[in-house]
Structure 1
Amino acid sequence: MAKWIDISQPLTNDMAHFPGDTPFSYSLTYSKEENGTANIGQMTASLHNGTHIDAPFHYDSDGKTVDQLDLERYVGNAMVVDVSHVDHITPEVFQGINLADTKRVLLRTALPNNPKRFPKTMPAIDPEIAPYLQEKGVLLLGVDMPSVDAPDSKELATHHALYKHDINILENLMLDEIDAGMYELIALPLAIQGADGSPVRAVIRPLKDVNNHG
């Protein structure tokens, strides 16, 4: 059986974060040398550091929080789609791709995976992909970028379009070394009560018709 592949960003003290947001920090609160028993660590972080999911509450004060989400959406077969040949991702890029029975789509864009550098520019995702993907039965969209909208967006048009069309959001995946094709995905959020988002450990396992690099 194929091995699981980690497609999540490692959480490190020097990783990039949204400008103005809380950076990730891990440190030891107590060391085994100090207390004689165990090393005990602590962390501070934005819920949107690294690989994470957005709950609707992130962009809608009446939306569901992380603990209210349907976990089934974050586990199951997923299609990695290579859109690295375009800078503007529209429904047209899916022409010729059979999304039948595909509830989860992961986009491999032209943005290089570099967890330690926040991108100045990113490929644009057209809000019009939301009704297109909903029509195909997609319930989760994952991207290898910090956001489905531009970092300086105030309207968050693509977030809202996906929300309107009942599609959950998974961001900051690591897909540079992943071939297009079908995989099994696990990307479960933490059960953080009342939260607007959550870090996830996203892993995929290729199905038999996919050959993955490395």
Structure 2
Amino acid sequence: MQKLWDISPAIHAGAPVFPGDTPYQQQWCATIAPGCPVNVSAITMSPHVGAHADAPLHYDAQGAAVGELPLAPFLGPCRVVHAIGCGALITWEHIAHAVDANLPPRVLVRTYAQAPVQWDGQLTAYAPDTIARLADRGVLLIGIDTASIDPADSKTLDSHQVIRRRGLRVLENLVLDDVPEGDYELIALPLKLTSADASPVRAVLRAL
């Protein structure tokens, strides 16, 4: 069997969330007992908890909800690029070593040596120009191991606006700690949430 890398963080009551987002909460509606044969829970959470796909609706008032998005960008060949400790923004010089004529249409960038277990207000984001240049090379989806492709304190979301204009899809909050640089098959399908601005994904990489 081909090797799989699980690149999704664990989701639980203590999972970090963007300040102001709804954290993961779970309660039991039914538990196994005499007269009840099953456990049934109810969960409440922001769709941006854990590994997730943003929908255009997240950054565009007229944008599509996540359940409307074609699945093709979330499934197929991708390249993992390391830019560990690169600073506030991933610039072109941080990823140029891994960009060539055979670049797959999906690019995931690792910035952490080890994914944090608490909220990181100093997270690394993409420089807008980096996204534009990847789009010029045919990239359909970008991913990152931080909570956002924009700085945590950004009010203009410049990188999100680039993906809006260029029609790219995005994955955030991935865990790439154990993934070597190289090419893989990405599988990270969002749920068919018909009115939501994002969806959790169970993101995995499979050896080619």
Per the alignment, in what secondary structure is the counterpart of residue 72 of structure 2? helix
Per the alignment, residue 104 of structure 2 pairs with 102
User: Any conservation in 2 of the 1:130–1:165 contact (CA below 8 Å)?
Assistant: no
Letter in 2 for 1:80: V
Per the alignment, in what secondary structure is the counterpart of residue 131 of structure 2? helix
User: Any conservation in 2 of the 1:104–1:141 contact (CA below 8 Å)?
Assistant: yes
Larger deviation, residues 104-113 vs 58-67: 104-113
Partners of 1:149 and 1:2 in 2: CA distance: 34
- Identical pairs, percent: 38
Number of positions where the alignment pairs a residue of Structure 1 with one of Structure 2: 206
Partners of 1:120 and 1:65 in 2: CA distance: 27
Per the alignment, residue 184 of structure 2 pairs with 183
Change (3 A) 1:148 1:40: same
Partners of 2:85 and 2:154 in 1: CA distance: 23
Deviations 1:101-154 (A, max 9, x none): 41100000136312x300021123210012201111100001000000112211
Partners of 2:129 and 2:113 in 1: CA distance: 21
Per the alignment, residue 53 of structure 2 pairs with 53
Letter in 1 for 2:45: A
Change (3 A) 1:49 1:111: farther
User: Any conservation in 2 of the 1:31–1:39 contact (CA below 8 Å)?
Assistant: yes
User: Any conservation in 2 of the 1:111–1:123 contact (CA below 8 Å)?
Assistant: no
Asked if 1:173 is matched to 2:205, the reply is no
Query: How far 1:96 sits from its partner (Å)?
Result: 3.3
Per the alignment, in what secondary structure is the counterpart of residue 33 of structure 2? helix
Structure 1's consecutive aligned runs of 4 or more residues displaced over 3 angstroms after TM superposition are: none
Letter in 1 for 2:105: K
Partners of 1:181 and 1:12 in 2: CA distance: 30
Letter in 2 for 1:100: N
Per the alignment, in what secondary structure is the counterpart of residue 57 of structure 2? helix
Unaligned runs of 5+ in 2: none
Per the alignment, in what secondary structure is the counterpart of residue 19 of structure 1? coil
Per the alignment, residue 212 of structure 1 pairs with none
Deviations 1:151-180 (A, max 9, x none): 221111111112212211100000011100
Letter in 2 for 1:139: L
Partners of 1:170 and 1:28 in 2: CA distance: 30
User: Any conservation in 2 of the 1:83–1:93 contact (CA below 8 Å)?
Assistant: yes
Letter in 1 for 2:161: H
Query: How far 1:3 sits from its partner (Å)?
Result: 2.4
CA RMSD of aligned residues (A): 1.5
Change (3 A) 1:108 1:15: same
Change (3 A) 1:124 1:107: same
Deviations 1:80-109 (A, max 9, x none): 001115213112223232253411000001
Letter in 2 for 1:194: S
TM-score by length of 1: 0.91
